[in-house]
Amino acid sequence: MATSAYTPDVFELATKAENLDPLTHDELRSVLELPEDRTLEAVTAAHRVRRRYFGDRVKLNYLVNLKSGLCPEDCSYCSQRLGSQADILTYTWLKPDEVRSAARSGIAAGAKRVCLVASGRGPTDRDVGRVADTIAAVREEQPNVEVCACLGLLSDGQAERLREAGADAYNHNLNTSGERYSEICTTHTFTDRVGTVQQATQAGLSPCSGLIAGMGENDSELVDALLELRSLNPDSVPVNFLIPFDGTPLAGTWELTPNRCLRILAATRLAFPDAEVRIAGGRELHLRGLQPLALHVANAIFLGDYLTSEGQPGQADVDLIHDAGFVVEGAGQDTLPTHRSAEVRARRRGAGTDLPPNA
Ligand code: SF4
């Protein structure tokens, strides 16, 4: 693979990002290609951008897996996939009060957003009804918590129903570049994924979409994925580092080093200066002792456990934030900078209303 044409001044790239001037493919790739001994430069430059838009705040998100395993899709990275032999919990839909109780513990530990996730290709209309009841149950007890739903591919009208039920955000990751997508999944397409993120956005849900690094992609392909994500203008971008579960096709795929993870996060921050960059699955496994440095780039993490794997103790996550000199973002604080949160407007025209569509 050819390397990019020049050695970057990462601080110039940071200035560009601070000015919300989009970085090019070559520029982002050059950050990934920095040698190990320049990784801290990338962290320092990305940190400047992170400080500018997110100060010293770290947002805690808390995952609740509403339905675990037994998925008919074949995403090769996923422990819940068709034919997975991974030793994970499998269960069908949790009841609303079970979810409320799980959410309660995350919120008590400092989580500002609860992410309600279900395995599967996408929800039936009945499933959307279940999730609506679940959101109502969580909200009854925690009226101010942010709720993000992650239920797979959406059909027409489902995003609007989730919005009406009180969901604030919808997560659907692109995971990898469009060019590579068929290498990691054959049961749905990259275009399907893009379509769901767009549906969620059009329904007024805050779009959350990110990637999984460490699945055999090269630097250029990783930047392709970042730019494809950028074209969807997500408000939050989770960066997962592959957890190569035994019993899945990517078992034994260990490509990442802690320094590479930092460069991936730095490139993501420079690509998304004013969006929430969240370190997601694989944080402890791949960043290891460099987790505190990663907080200088990202402004959000998951508290506690992931969907099918255990994270470090929740208190260790909170200690990590304080020890690195950051503070846990409070329920009353806006995550996104004002210029950006003002862009998110719930749709009140077109489908489902008496007003004409915006076309
Ligand atoms: S659709 Fe979701 S739950 Fe199913 S295999 Fe893919 S990532 Fe896993």
Residues 6+ apart with CB under 8 A from 343: none
Mean pLDDT of 250-274: 97
DSSP 221-273: HHHHHHHHHHTT--SEEEEEE----TTSTTTT-----HHHHHHHHHHHHHHST
- Residue 347 — very low, low, confident or very high, per pLDDT cuts 50/70/90? very low
Beta strand ranges found along 51-184 (DSSP E): 57-67, 113-118, 146-150, 169-171
Task: Check residues 350 and 251 and name the one with the higher pLDDT.
Answer: 251
Closest by CA to 88, choosing from 96, 76, 79, is: 79
Question: Ligand 1 in contact with 152 (CB < 6 A)?
Answer: yes
- The domain of 89 spans 10-331
Q: Is pLDDT above 50 for 80?
A: yes
In CATH, what number is assigned to the domain containing residue 25? 3.20.20.70
Q: Is pLDDT above 70 for 345?
A: no
Question: Ligand 1 in contact with 68 (CB < 6 A)?
Answer: no
Please pick, among 29, 75, 193, 269, the residue that the annotation labels catalytic.
Answer: 75
Q: Is pLDDT above 60 for 1?
A: no
Residues 6+ apart with CB under 8 A from 325: 56
Mean pLDDT of 115-144: 96
pLDDT, position 346: 45
Closest by CA to 66, choosing from 14, 15, 138, 18, is: 138
Catalytic site includes residue 150: no
Closest by CA to 301, choosing from 166, 69, 109, 65, is: 109
Percentage of the chain beyond pLDDT 90 is: 88
Catalytic site includes residue 185: no
267 domain-assigned: yes
Q: Parallel, antiparallel, or unpaired: how do β-strands 276-279 and 57-67 relate?
A: unpaired
Please pick, among 29, 50, 57, 78, the residue that the annotation labels catalytic.
Answer: 78
Task: Check if the beta carbon of residue 96 is closer than 8 Å to that of residue 56.
Answer: no
Query: Which atom of ligand 1 is found nearest the CA of 82?
Result: 5
343 domain-assigned: no
Element (H, E) at 306: none
Q: Structural domain tally of the chain?
A: 1
Question: Ligand 1 in contact with 153 (CB < 6 A)?
Answer: no
Mean pLDDT of 74-103: 94
Task: Check if the beta carbon of residue 110 is closer than 8 Å to that of residue 58.
Answer: no
pLDDT, position 331: 80
Mean pLDDT of 27-55: 97
pLDDT tens digits, residue range 151-191?
Answer: 999 999 999 999 999 999 999 999 999 999 999 999 999 99
pLDDT tens digits, residue range 216-229?
Answer: 999 999 999 999 99
The two structure tokens encoding residue 115: 């992410």
As a whole number of angstroms, the distance between CA 149 and CA 197 comes to: 12
Q: Would you give the distance in Å from CA 294 to the centre of its chain?
A: 15
216 domain-assigned: yes
337 domain-assigned: no
The binding site for [4Fe-4S] cluster consists of 71, 75, 78
As a whole number of angstroms, the distance between CA 278 and CA 208 comes to: 10
Residue 265 alpha carbon to ligand 1 centre in Å: 24
pLDDT, position 237: 98
353 domain-assigned: no
Closest by CA to 66, choosing from 123, 4, 141, is: 123
Residue whose entry in the numeric block shows the structure tokens 């069908």? 92
Residue 78 alpha carbon to ligand 1 centre in Å: 6
Task: Check if the beta carbon of residue 88 is closer than 8 Å to that of residue 68.
Answer: yes
Phi, psi of 66, rounded to the nearest 5 degrees: -70, -25
pLDDT, position 351: 53
Task: Check if the beta carbon of residue 280 is closer than 8 Å to that of residue 302.
Answer: yes
Mean pLDDT of 67-95: 94
Question: Ligand 1 in contact with 71 (CB < 6 A)?
Answer: yes
358 domain-assigned: no
As a whole number of angstroms, the distance between CA 278 and CA 288 comes to: 16
- Residue 353 — very low, low, confident or very high, per pLDDT cuts 50/70/90? low
222 domain-assigned: yes
Beta strand ranges found along the chain (DSSP E): 57-67, 113-118, 146-150, 169-171, 206-208, 211-213, 236-241, 276-279, 300-302, 327-328
Mean pLDDT of 110-137: 97
1 domain-assigned: no
Please pick, among 50, 71, 193, 283, the residue that the annotation labels catalytic.
Answer: 71
Q: Is pLDDT above 80 for 210?
A: yes
Beta strand ranges found along 158-228 (DSSP E): 169-171, 206-208, 211-213
Catalytic site includes residue 261: no
Residue 314 alpha carbon to ligand 1 centre in Å: 25
Residue 232 alpha carbon to ligand 1 centre in Å: 21
Averaged confidence pLDDT in the chain: 93
- What radius of gyration do the chain's Cα atoms show? 19
Q: Is pLDDT above 60 for 350?
A: no
The two structure tokens encoding residue 284: 């402890």
